[in-house]
């Protein structure tokens, strides 16, 4: 059996896909706003609060506020952001980043 916990947070930012080769969605070449939702999952080895939600969420929210909230992220994709969050604390197993809670990316760690 494998047990994980997760925390979530959100932030608002701008990004673009300057090299978008698809004419149908060429508007993505321009800077546009999203509300991004982040979910970070980490393994736990027992079921009695090995890691505290509030502590993990504080680390995530502080990182978002410092580097992502209300920023222009340039061409940073959801996949790139999910990779960025993978170092926040020990034993992260997966990071999800969603645009407007509709579409997103998952990076899973071994």
Cβ neighbours around 60 below 10 Å, total: 20
From first to last of the 110 residues of the chain, give the pLDDT tens digit. 889 999 999 999 999 999 999 999 999 999 999 999 999 999 999 999 899 999 999 999 999 999 999 999 999 999 999 999 998 888 899 999 999 999 999 999 97
Q: What is the pLDDT of residue 71?
A: 98
Q: What is the pLDDT of residue 1?
A: 87
Instruction: Provide the β-strand partners of residue 99.
Output: 36, 103
Q: How far is CA 10 from CA 7, 37, 57, 86, in A?
A: 11, 4, 11, 16
DSSP string for residues in 10-44: EEEEEE--TT---GGGGGGGS-EEEEEEEEEEEEE
Q: What is the pLDDT of residue 34?
A: 98
Q: What is the pLDDT of residue 24?
A: 98
What domains are defined for the chain? Answer: 3-108 (3.30.479.10)
């Amino acid at each position: 059996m494998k047990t994980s916990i997760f925390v979530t947070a959100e932030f608002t930012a701008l990004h673009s896909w300057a090299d978008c080769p698809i004419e149908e969605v060429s508007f993505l070449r321009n800077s546009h706003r999203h509300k991004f939702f982040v979910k970070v999952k980490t393994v736990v080895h027992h079921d009695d609060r090995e890691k505290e939600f509030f502590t993990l969420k504080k680390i995530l929210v502080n990182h978002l506020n410092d580097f992502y909230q209300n920023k222009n992220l340039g061409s940073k994709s959801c996949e790139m952001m999910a990779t960025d969050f993978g170092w926040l604390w020990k034993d992260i197993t997966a990071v999800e980043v969603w645009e407007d809670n509709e579409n997103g990316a998952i990076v899973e760690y071994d």
